[in-house]
A and B are shown apart, each in its own frame.
Chain A
Amino acid sequence: EAQVTQNPRYLITVTGKKLTVTCSQNMNHEYMSWYRQDPGLGLRQIYYSMNVEVTDKGDVPEGYKVSRKEKRNFPLILESPSPNQTSLYFCASSQLTSGGAGTGELFFGEGSRLTVL
């Protein structure tokens, strides 16, 4: 089954304790991206990757890191989480289209709800 898998789905942590949210897709998609969803703000892009070893900042990258060492995986790293990073996080992937990276249908993971105390 084609899917994007995120882990953990739920996490409560404390300020400053490093954490990683994993994301893996089995569709051989080149493009992957992370979003955070907050009430009234919609989905905001954190980082995206057009291919292995190619990553770039979205609109809200502060406090986050990513890596793309393999095509299928795109982990989101919070080196020193703070309460303002409490949010619902989505990973997504899409295949390359004639329009280029990020212009295809996005397949989303189920979301990871993170609470930073």
Chain B
Amino acid sequence: AQKVTQAQTEISVVEKEDVTLDCVYETRDTTYYLFWYKQPPSGELVFLIRRNSFDEQNEISGRYSWNFQKSTSSFNFTITASQVVDSAVYFCALSSSNTGKLIFGQGTTLQVKP
């Protein structure tokens, strides 16, 4: 069975601090896809990144970076120099090729204080 665990329920940081959101997944499939989504206080869900299981390169997009490690089944998300606008719930998700199923973690609520 597939599973996504985001052990950090809530994180609070002060603006300009770096913060890492953890995501650990379980799957028996060899081909799968990992995602991060952001849900700001306004409630909409916004796509951040998609990564397939064959691409372990880390990715950086501005202040955001993602560290994918198959050896530890983790896909962690780091925000550098956090800002108040980063305050949101962040979801990690897992999908296997051609199953149609997409499993989300429980979400991590990030609060960035000024």
Q: Footprint of B on A, CB under 8 Å?
A: 31, 33, 35, 40-45, 48, 50, 56, 58-59, 88, 90, 92, 99-108, 110-111
Contact = CB atoms under 8 A, between A and B. Distances in A.
A59 B100 CA distance: 12
Given A41-B106, A99-B52, A106 B101 contact: no
Given A33-B102, A48-B100, A100-B98, A43 B91 contact: yes
A42 B105 contact: yes
A92 B37 CA distance: 13
A40 B106 contact: yes
A108 B100 contact: no
Classify the secondary structure of A's interface with B.
strand
A34 to B, nearest CB: 11
Contacts of B35: 105-106
A111 B101 contact: no
Contacts, number: 74
Contacts of B8: none
A92 B93 CA distance: 14
A78 to B, nearest CB: 21
B45 A90 contact: yes
Given A103-B33, A104-B50, A108-B45, A42 B106 contact: yes
B105 to A, nearest CB: 6
A101 B98 contact: yes
Among the interface residues B45, B98, B103, which one has the most CB atoms of the partner chain A within 10 A? B45
Contacts of B37: 106
A92 B47 CA distance: 11
B104 to A, nearest CB: 4
Contacts of B107: 42-43
A11 to B, nearest CB: 16
Identify the 8 closest CB pairs spanning chains A and B, nearest first.
A100-B98, A43-B104, A108-B45, A42-B106, A102-B100, A103-B33, A42-B104, A105-B47
Contact of A103 (B9, B47, B97): B97
